[in-house]
Chain A
Amino acid sequence: MTAEERSVQRDRMRFTKNSLSSNLAIIGILFNVFYFVSLYKSDVGTYYYTILIGGSIVYNLIFMLAVFLASEGVKNYKQSYSYLLLVIGALQIARIFIIPSQAHAALTLVNGAEVPVMEDAQFIRIVVYLAVSAACLILSALVNLYKCRELSTHMKSLETQTA
């Protein structure tokens, strides 16, 4: 890419939205939905009937709201929303070690028989969902940080030219 093309590309950011970051954040929400649907459809007796699952449901609601808000923020090159997405992305990784890991290691009684709460296949699927969700959110944040810096540099150079 030539210097001129790069300059035009930067200039375009003045008028176009950061749809890459925004879309990545939305994909992050989507994979989180896959995660909780996969988890909540489990039929393993009363294992999940705890305060933890209640907290998980509330967190998922807050997660979707916050990430949607952040997706709109990064769409308009708001740098602060990148930090929010980085934190939420890290939490998605941390979540692998809370419900899924515990459930994968646990056994429960169903119809008098002892069965694993979470089969390997479901565990792998859930880990992938959370990992992809986290990756999307972190990538969204990093792309936005990069673009914000580029745009800021470009705006400063424009101001210098005008002055």
Chain B
Amino acid sequence: MATLSLQHIDKIYDNNVQAVYDFNLDVKDGELIVLVGPSGCGKSTTLRMVAGLEDISKGKLLLDGKDITAAPAKDRDMAMVFQNYALYGHMTIYENMAFSLTLRKENPNVIHKKVLAAAEILGLTSQLNKKPAQLSGGQRQRVAMGRSIVRNPKVFLFDEPLSNLDAKLRGATRREILLLHKRLQATMLYVTHDQTEALTLADRIVCMSMGHVQQVGTPLELYDSPDNIFVASFIGLPPMNFFDVQVREGKLVGANFQVALSDKEKQILRAYEGKTITLGVRPENIVEGPDVKVSVFSNENLGMNTLVHGYIGGQRGLRISAKLKGWANYKAGDTASFSFTRKHFFDKETTNAIRGDK
């Protein structure tokens, strides 16, 4: 397996549109890195640059310490799995999986052993004589993965491989990818816009927006300590609630509500006394309590949890979503009373997180 290093990588297209700005990342051997972000943020472009399908405008790409910035795709020893599977419809599954090795003129007996081994890993042994059209979406994606596995590449690249699958199949295939990673201990780069995939699969997540890396960290770091408002809003479902509040005498004072700060929070916000900041509260960090009065307009029971949506301070107030434990029975027009168990603070000007220690 391999280490991968992306150093100060830029992508500027011929029409001077810049898709990626100063991308830096060191991928450890056997690590699964997920690039996540909204459409057009540059994550697929970055992956394609790594694969050699796009030129790198500026910066360096190192594989096992060797500069492969200008190397053609075929010499990079990487395998890519695409969203649309890219299988040959006229070939059987066996032939599809063997194809890349056949092109390299490997010994047919060796190819056979590799294909059978990959099919065994992916549970495709009974499907080898079928054509792609006879398989479900999930099975086709497994074939695409199998085609990568037989090559035994240094790095696996996945470009939104689950996007074409329905929700149930997506969950199952996601677990298979995770098991595959554990089994192969391979270095993998995975692109998705789905934060659930990112959180469940990644050893580390790279969160991107508008071509810039917003934060690199473990899933827990991104969820628990987002570096800025973008990361805080992108990671987590339902998304974090944001309110403009003023820091005033140990309290946060917002429109129609105020909440007290703990000693630790006061310490963090010491430099912001009298200033307006952005308060972020995850819906799951909201409980029934005395601090904030909310006019409920929607109550969604999910079984284990209830999503309650409402406005702070009446119908034209600030919108808030709470994810309460258990079964709640609010009706539209009811007044609920909430407290916050965990707060995130962001500088209103820079949108960066306020952590006190920085």
Interface size class of A (residues with CB under 8 A): under 10
Which residues from A are CB-within-8-Å of B128?
Answer: 14-15
- Interface-forming stretch among B49-57, B106-114, B178-186? B106-114
Interface size class of B (residues with CB under 8 A): 10 to 19
Judge if A16 is at the interface, Cβ distance under 8 Å: yes
> In B107-135, which residues have CB < 8 Å from any A CB?
108-109, 112-113, 115-116, 128-129
- Interface-forming stretch among A5-13, A38-46, A52-60? A5-13
Closest to A6 in B: B109
Judge if B258 is at the interface, Cβ distance under 8 Å: no
Judge if B94 is at the interface, Cβ distance under 8 Å: yes
| Contact A8 B113, beta carbon cutoff 8 Å | yes
Task: Known contacts A15-B92, A16-B94; decide if A8 and B129 are in contact (CB<8 Å).
Answer: no
| Contact A15 B94, beta carbon cutoff 8 Å | yes
> In B196-232, which residues have CB < 8 Å from any A CB?
none
Residue in contact with A12 in the complex, picked from B92, B108, B129, CB distance below 8 Å: B108
Task: Known contacts A15-B128, A15-B129; decide if A8 and B109 are in contact (CB<8 Å).
Answer: yes
Which residues from A are CB-within-8-Å of B94?
Answer: 15-16
A11 and B117 CA atoms in complex are apart in Å by 13
Which residues from A are CB-within-8-Å of B113?
Answer: 8
| Shortest Cβ gap from B94 to chain A (Å) | 4
| Shortest Cβ gap from B55 to chain A (Å) | 39
| Contact B109 A5, beta carbon cutoff 8 Å | yes
Task: Known contacts A15-B92, A15-B94, A16-B94; decide if A9 and B109 are in contact (CB<8 Å).
Answer: yes
Interface readout for A1-31 with B: 1 if CB under 8 Å, 0 if not? 0000100110110111000000000000000
Which residues from A are CB-within-8-Å of B109?
Answer: 5, 8-9, 12
Which residues from B are CB-within-8-Å of A14?
Answer: 128-129
A16 and B99 CA atoms in complex are apart in Å by 12
Which residues from B are CB-within-8-Å of A15?
Answer: 92, 94-95, 112, 115, 128-129
Closest to B108 in A: A12
Residue in contact with A11 in the complex, picked from B92, B95, B112, CB distance below 8 Å: B112
Closest to A15 in B: B94
A9 and B113 CA atoms in complex are apart in Å by 10
A9 and B94 CA atoms in complex are apart in Å by 15
A11 and B108 CA atoms in complex are apart in Å by 11
Interface readout for B86-99 with A: 1 if CB under 8 Å, 0 if not? 00000010110000
Which residues from B are CB-within-8-Å of A8?
Answer: 109, 112-113
Closest to B112 in A: A12
A53 and B128 CA atoms in complex are apart in Å by 48
Of listed B112, B113, B116, B129, residue having the most chain A CB within 10 A = B112
Which residues from A are CB-within-8-Å of B129?
Answer: 14-15
Name 17 A/B residue pairs within 8 A (Cβ), A-sorted: A8-B109, A8-B112, A8-B113, A9-B108, A11-B112, A11-B116, A12-B108, A14-B128, A14-B129, A15-B92, A15-B94, A15-B95, A15-B115, A15-B128, A15-B129, A16-B94, A16-B95
- Going nearest first, the 3 A-B pairs with the smallest beta carbon separation are A15-B94, A8-B109, A12-B112
Q: Residues of A with Cβ closer than 8 Å to B?
A: 5, 8-9, 11-12, 14-16
A9-B109, A15-B129, A16-B94 are known contacts; what are 8 more A-B pairs with Cβ within 8 Å?
Answer: A5-B109, A8-B112, A11-B112, A11-B116, A12-B108, A12-B112, A14-B128, A15-B112
